[in-house]
């Protein structure tokens, strides 16, 4: 696991060194640079920070090259089928100097060219500089699901890339400028959908894509997509057969992702997904071979934080499960200094991401790093098997639409009039019902998108200044969502929802914050549910009614729950969905009260020129009086202001100075 960076015809050695060093948290074990100045004056440089996971020797140093030094790579990720690929390549005559998966990618590229990405099973973002032709070619790729990040800037013959935006901002030609269209999306969804970022002219390489750059010509191609059968598909396999097949495929995925030369552990929330991973780890051949208990980590907050939040209210469930599976569980009870922590985490995130789960993810990784370098996570289970409440909401809305219009109108008016009910156990459910009520009468696609939003169109118009309202009026923030639905419009609607969640929500939010928050603590997070072959099997062989079973009270992830019978206790199999959340409402009312008054003050909001100060103050007042639950929206605006202070006002220099002095980077 590493932080990668690179330059083509912009910057110099010192720039590349700064780009590499500002990502030191991604790879504290080693660093390296490779660069070449060509006779025509063109320049290429690659940088790497290494977190050593496989082959801890110096043979794993990057950037790495082939035998005749004509192909150089900087790489971030893990290839789980690398041993199989290595044996195949050795049979073709390739020789290896290390035991790394990095070298396998080099030789596979020599053998198959750009098609090499189709053979890789794992998570990766890499760049290869190919010097075999008269003009150097840069080949870049990002894994199938977008588990690992790849940011880039392209302007004519100038090109730069990195694992994190803060590295790109070390390049003199790249300015930190806010992108208004991305701001419009951020206020809609809490985050910016790929491939855009909040920075003008900085983009992400999309998941399942590769790109080539030669003589300034940048070409982007998709090499993989998750597909689904048509809605009228007849499914041949029995439920019992599917249970067995899914269990075995999932077992193989977990076991493959336990390969490591450093200590490995797992998140354990006691939800279905993390519990299933831990169950497979504890019963797998790898754990039996080491005769060591699996180390698991559970994060929880003191009781005062948890009232009304949609998280598991009983951390003892995880304790009992760990005991049942023979694991060594560490419960991490946190009461963080959120006012001091949040600005630094915004810096680590690069982009404003208003999901408070970033704090929870960071805290558990920070504590786990004292014992483990690799953690397995349950990200992806909800997208594969239909585990979110918004999937349930589609079926509830269908039933709701059959009620008389007058009854619906009365119910919606009553819900809208209810206060936020802060500090009560029903607060989260009320917020869900209010969101469902405003979308229930819409067409399915619009309903699903609306259920994913926070500020709606009218609310944003009331919030924006006249200039920003005029500028954003030309854009549909849900454009990427509609395009995703269109790509699978012949599939069952549940599969359409799962496709959108996999391609947009999971990649742009869940995988992004898992990468950034784990790497902030120099921890590698692996995601066994996102084994490509497992995902493809589930997409094409499990019918929608075995993913979400029932109508009025559907069972989420039904087939996966059935597959894990006998491996997990009943209380875990019947556990309701629980978010990897944090007590936002409590923090806003207590720890963050002064920060809100300062950062969202009328004077500061007016100076930014984006929002109407009186509209922002109205949100603060209504929330504090309990008239409406604006907790997520206020968290959005607080996160946005901290991001602007860090990246637009230069506040990030405070954190970067800690890393960039002294500036010592090994070169190759």
CB contact at 8 A, 139 and 223: no
CB contact at 8 A, 220 and 171: no
Spatial separation of the C-alpha atoms in residues 542 and 540, rounded to whole Å: 6
Classify the C-alpha dihedral 519-337-579-646 as positive or negative: negative
Spatial separation of the C-alpha atoms in residues 582 and 306, rounded to whole Å: 8
Listed as own residue / partner, the contacts of 473-478 with beta carbons closer than 8 Å and 24 or more positions apart are 475/181, 475/184, 477/181, 477/184, 477/185, 477/187, 477/188, 477/189, 478/188, 478/449, 478/453
Residue 158: enclosing H or E segment and its boundaries?
strand 158-162
CB contact at 8 A, 552 and 259: no
Q: In what order do the strands lie in the sheet with 264-267?
A: 328-333, 295-300, 264-267, 374-376, 524-526
Please report how many Cα atoms fall inside a 13 Å half-sphere around the Cα of residue 484, on the Cβ side.
24
Q: Residue 452: which of 511, 404, 407, 390 has the closest Cα?
A: 390
Contacts of 567 (CB under 8 A, 6+ apart): 247, 276, 279, 280, 283
- Per-residue exposure over 275-284, b if at least 16 CB sit within 10 Å of its own CB, e if not: bbbbbbbbeb
- Beta pairing class for 30-37 and 374-376: unpaired
Q: Residue 53: which of 65, 44, 45, 62 has the closest Cα?
A: 62
SS (H, E, C) 579-633: CCCCCHHHHHHCCCHHHHHHHCCHHHHHHHCCECHHHHHHHHHHHHCCCCCCHHH
Cis peptide before 54 (omega within 30 of 0): no
CB contact at 8 A, 193 and 204: no
Spatial separation of the C-alpha atoms in residues 435 and 499, rounded to whole Å: 22
DSSP state of 292: -
Query: Which DSSP string do the residues of 20-46 spell out, in sequence order?
Result: HHTTGGG-BSEEEEEEEE-TTS-EEEE
Strand-pair partners of 65: 72
Q: Among the options 2, 129, 327, 452, which is catalytic? A: 2
Q: Is 327 a catalytic residue?
A: no
CB contact at 8 A, 35 and 57: no
Residue-level length of the chain: 668
CB contact at 8 A, 368 and 334: no
CB contact at 8 A, 231 and 502: no
Question: Looking at the annotation, which residues are catalytic?
Answer: 2
């Amino acid at each position: 696991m590493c932080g990668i960076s690179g330059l083509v015809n912009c910057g110099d050695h010192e720039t590349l060194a700064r780009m590499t060093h500002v990502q030191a948290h991604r790879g504290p074990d080693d660093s390296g640079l490779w660069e070449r100045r060509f006779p025509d004056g063109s320049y290429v440089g690659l940088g790497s920070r290494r977190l050593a996971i496989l082959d801890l020797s110096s043979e794993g140093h990057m950037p790495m090259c082939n035998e005749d030094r004509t192909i150089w790579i900087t790489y971030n990720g893990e290839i789980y089928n690398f041993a199989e690929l290595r044996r195949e390549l050795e049979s073709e005559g390739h020789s290896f100097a290390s035991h790394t998966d990095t070298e396998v990618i080099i030789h596979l590229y020599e053998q198959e060219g750009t098609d090499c990405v189709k053979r890789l099973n794992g998570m990766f973002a890499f760049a290869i500089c190919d010097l075999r032709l008269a003009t150097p070619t840069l080949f870049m790729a990002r894994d199938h699901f977008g588990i690992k990040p790849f940011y880039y800037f392209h302007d004519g013959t100038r090109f730069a890339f990195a694992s994190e935006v803060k590295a790109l901002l070390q390049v003199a030609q790249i300015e930190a400028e806010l992108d208004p269209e991305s701001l419009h999306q951020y206020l809609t969804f809490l985050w910016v959908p790929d491939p855009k970022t909040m920075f003008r002219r900085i983009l992400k390489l999309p998941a399942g894509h590769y790109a080539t750059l030669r003589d300034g010509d940048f070409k982007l191609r998709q090499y993989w997509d998750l597909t689904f059968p048509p809605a009228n598909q007849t499914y041949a396999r029995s439920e019992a057969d599917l249970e067995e097949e899914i269990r075995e495929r999932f077992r193989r995925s977990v076991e493959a992702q336990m390969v490591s030369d450093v200590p490995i552990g797992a998140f354990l929330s006691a939800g279905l997904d993390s519990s299933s991973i831990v169950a497979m780890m504890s019963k797998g051949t790898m754990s039996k071979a080491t005769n060591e208990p699996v180390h698991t980590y559970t994060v929880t907050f003191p009781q005062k934080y948890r009232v009304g939040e949609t998280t598991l209210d009983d951390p003892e469930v995880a304790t009992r499960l760990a005991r049942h599976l023979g694991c060594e569980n560490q419960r991490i009870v946190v009461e963080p200094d959120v006012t001091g922590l949040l600005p630094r985490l915004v810096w680590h995130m690069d982009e404003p991401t208003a999901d408070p789960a970033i704090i929870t993810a960071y805290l558990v990784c920070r504590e786990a790093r004292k014992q483990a370098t690799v953690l397995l996570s349950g990200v992806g289970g909800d997208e594969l098997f239909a585990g979110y409440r918004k999937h349930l909401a589609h079926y509830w809305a269908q039933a709701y639409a059959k009620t008389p219009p007058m009854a619906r109108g009365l119910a919606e008016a009553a819900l809208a009039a209810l206060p936020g009910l802060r500090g009560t156990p029903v607060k989260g459910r009320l917020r869900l019902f209010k969101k469902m009520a405003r979308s229930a009468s819409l067409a399915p696609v619009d309903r699903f998108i609306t259920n994913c939003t926070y500020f709606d169109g009218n609310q944003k118009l009331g919030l924006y200044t006249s200039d920003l309202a005029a500028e954003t009026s030309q854009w549909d923030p849900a454009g990427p969502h509609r395009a995703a639905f269109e790509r699978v419009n012949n599939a069952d609607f549940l599969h359409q929802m799962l496709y959108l969640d996999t391609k947009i929500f999971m990649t742009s939010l869940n995988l992004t914050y898992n990468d950034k928050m784990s790497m902030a603590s120099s921890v590698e997070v692996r995601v066994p549910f996102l084994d490509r072959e497992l995902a493809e099997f589930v997409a094409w062989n499990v019918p929608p009614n075995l993913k979400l079973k029932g109508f009025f009270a559907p069972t989420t992830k039904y087939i996966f729950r059935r597959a894990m019978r006998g491996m997990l206790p009943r209380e875990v199999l019947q556990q309701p969905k629980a978010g990897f959340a944090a007590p936002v409402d409590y923090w806003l009312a207590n720890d963050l009260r002064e920060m809100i008054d300062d950062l969202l003050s009328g004077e500061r909001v007016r100076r930014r020129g984006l929002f109407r100060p009186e509209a922002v103050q109205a949100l603060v007042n209504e929330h504090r009086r309990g008239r409406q639950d604006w907790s997520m929206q206020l968290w959005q605006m607080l996160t946005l202001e901290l991001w602007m202070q860090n990246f637009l006002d230069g506040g990030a220099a405070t954190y970067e100075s800690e890393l960039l002095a002294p500036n010592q980077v090994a070169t190759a």
